Chain A
């Protein structure tokens, strides 16, 4: 257990639905990252927060994706109008070193 928690651990949804994931990083860490990992691939960077400020976003993060970290503590990642191609493991990292267990999204 790295001290980073993610919720839910698994999410199955139908195409077109919206989903939201939550990440609780280690409390004293001000850096938070989101990654996406598909089967057989390494994680791909999605976005980075320093405290509540979103300082970098990948071009992978289409308009349907939005991330927030309102008080510089937990973060949420929302995917609107999900597509089958969004099926992946979504990983959160605290301070780039400590990764959470991930949320596995399956879009039917």
Chain B
């Protein structure tokens, strides 16, 4: 069965420092993986997606993620955090052969001034 595990429920960084949000996946097949962001009282927004093309995926707002098959990871990074990045981030895998998307439990990012 396919699944994702977000290793940190909360991450705090100072403004201007790098962001690392960790996600490990479990899949028997080459997965399609996604990162979404959810700001308070706003809808979910797709940040980026990996669909077996380039292993380094660039997304919106300066975020990127690298697919590492050997480590079964798809960590989300950003070189320099901005106050507006404070939100909940979800790692997501699509289940092959179905229309389901499985969300991780989320990582709440706090950005300190």
Contact = CB atoms under 8 A, between A and B. Distances in A.
A45 B100 contact: yes
A61 to B, nearest CB: 12
B103 A44 contact: yes
Contact of A4 (B42, B43, B98, B105): B43
B30 to A, nearest CB: 18
A interface residue count range (under 10 / 10 to 19 / 20 to 34 / 35 or more): 20 to 34
A102 B101 contact: no
B102 A45 contact: yes
A58 B100 contact: yes
Given A41-B105, A42-B90, A55 B99 contact: yes
A62 interface: no
Which of A33, A50, A97: most chain B Cβ within 10 A?
Answer: A97
A25 interface: no
Given A97-B46, A100-B43, A41 B100 contact: no
Contacts of A42: 90, 92, 103-106
Interface in A30-85: 31, 33, 35, 40-45, 48, 50, 55-56, 58
Interface of A: 2, 4, 31, 33, 35, 40-45, 48, 50, 55-56, 58, 91, 93, 96-102
